[in-house]
Amino acid sequence: MYAILDVETTGGNAIHDKITEIAIYLHDGKKVVKEYTTLVNPECSIPPFIERLTGISNEMVETAPKFYEIAKNILEITEGATIVAHNAPFDYGFISHEYKSLGYTFTRDYLCTVRLSRKLIPGFRSYSLGNLCDMLGIPLFNRHRAAGDALATVKLFELLLSKDPEKNVFSTFTKNDYLHLRFPPEFNRNILDKLPESPGVYYFHNQDNSVIYIGKSINIRKRVLMHFANKQTRKAIEMRNAIRDISFEVTGNELVALLLESEEIKVNQPIFNRSQKSSYYNYGIFQTETEEGYIKLSAGKVKSKDKPLLITRTNDEATSTLERLVEKFNLCQKLTGLYNVSHACFQYSINRCKGACVGKENAEEYNHRVLNALKSLEYQNPNFMIIGAGRTSSEKTVVQIEEGRYRGFGFFEPEFTGQSVEVLRDVIVPRQDNRDVHKIIRYHLSHNNGDQLLTY
């Protein structure tokens, strides 16, 4: 089946503009078997030049249904069909973006009659719908109205189909969002259509419905699709081939996603998480002591038995943290591992280091500054809450640290609950306190992107 369609819009940008009319003709390869057409209230003003082009005015769409009111109809009529349109990326892009604004992923195979025409009927100066209709004798009524353009596309489509009866060109030119991906034979691709483009945690299940992998992302759908990419390691391919179902939990933001992922991996012990050596926090800052008694700091890769003072995602971030501590607390570049030299560090030559690197400053005085520097990496207050974005525009998340311990996280709607500590305590779902969650929270605090910090 083919859903041959056309949309009229308020402009040419699917992100900023909206659909004002849509017409769909369902075609079985021989004839039209069903049709659907309607004006659409774009919930914004139609620019004058667009009104002159299409003839669709603000008054005409004022009482028309909004897109969300017809969204189900479009899904039903296009279910199992290949979308066909003249300049299909334009029409398909607008429809996809309308669904995206509703929190739904619209995915269909699609064909572009512009590309098909260039291949099957070459030699024309222009492949616009108007020019093709003129040259091929296709009647075109109500130009720049959805029904008129879609009906002309039906006739063009039938002509193209007659030139490719075996559909060899059609199959080559059919596009979809998953063409570059690889799926297990028994995997139902429709599962992917339900995945949100939101922060959260996702779970891969095998044929026994056991959880075999848990991951997190700020865009669940995008991250999951990456697991089905062509180029993968042997273990990644092994996991991909075992996937039969995918579930997920939306968290509202990355911090809560990281906290939930960490806990869920510990609880479920998925086989492919245990075998995976990579981590979001592979590097850290370490503390040792020299023979002379000076505290020495260094940045490096975290190994399984290491106990770093602070973890970071990259070695550059760990090094940058040390550089900030050196600058703020007048620490020694040599004793922080920033310069591996046998002589005095450069900071000493410009009076920014007091000479610990060459024994000019005693260990007790230097170590006192180092300890103050390390204290600055700890929680400034043992009791606080982090208020972040929620799963909806009206919701917030709250993560609680009390007496220096991680208590858990929860969701709330400020409009109805307010944001007092007493109220927020009630929405916290208790979670396990462990070293990993504090690494996550400390890292988040050092890279805060606008979350509210509520201390008490």
Alpha helix segments (H runs only) across 79-206: 88-100, 113-120, 129-136, 146-163, 168-173
| pLDDT tops 80 at residue 117 | yes
Q: What is the mean pLDDT of residues 29-37?
A: 93
What pLDDT, in 10s, does the model give residues 122-174?
988 899 999 999 889 999 888 889 999 999 999 999 999 998 888 888 888 88
pLDDT tens, residue by residue, 411-449: 999 988 888 899 999 999 999 887 788 888 888 887 767
pLDDT at 349 over 90: no
Give, as one character, the DSSP assignment of residue 66: B
Q: Is the pTM of this model over 0.85?
A: no
| Residue 18: partners with Cβ closer than 8 Å, 6 or more residues away | 9, 10, 40, 42, 43, 44, 67, 98
Other CB atoms within 10 Å distance of the CB of residue 78: 21
Q: What is the mean pLDDT of residues 389-393?
A: 92
What pLDDT, on the 0 to 100 scale, is given for residue 346? 83
Mean pLDDT of the chain: 89
CA distances from 166 to 117, 147, 172, 345 (A): 16, 29, 12, 76
Q: What is the pLDDT of residue 277?
A: 42
- DSSP state string for 411-433: EE-HHHH---HHHHHHHPEE---
The pLDDT value recorded for residue 275 is 47
The residue type found at 442 is R
- The fold for domain 189-274 equals GIY-YIG endonuclease (3.40.1440)
Tell me 269's DSSP state.
-
The CATH fold assigned to 2-173 is Nucleotidyltransferase; domain 5 (3.30.420)
CB atoms within 10 A of CB 106: 19
* Start and end residues for every CATH 3.40.1440.10 domain found in the chain: 189-274
Structure tokens given for 230: 């062509």
Is 188 a residue whose pLDDT tops 60? Answer: yes
Predicted local distance difference test score (pLDDT) of residue 18: 95
Among 163-172, 272-281, 289-298, 337-346, where is mean pLDDT lowest? 272-281
Indicate the range of 56-65, 179-188, 269-278, 368-377 predicted with least confidence: 269-278
Whether 408 shows a pLDDT value over 90: the answer reads yes
Name the residue with tokens 């769409």: 61
In the chain, residues under CATH classification 3.30.420.10 are: 2-173
Neighbours of 37 (CB within 10 A): 16
Higher pLDDT, 345 or 203: 203
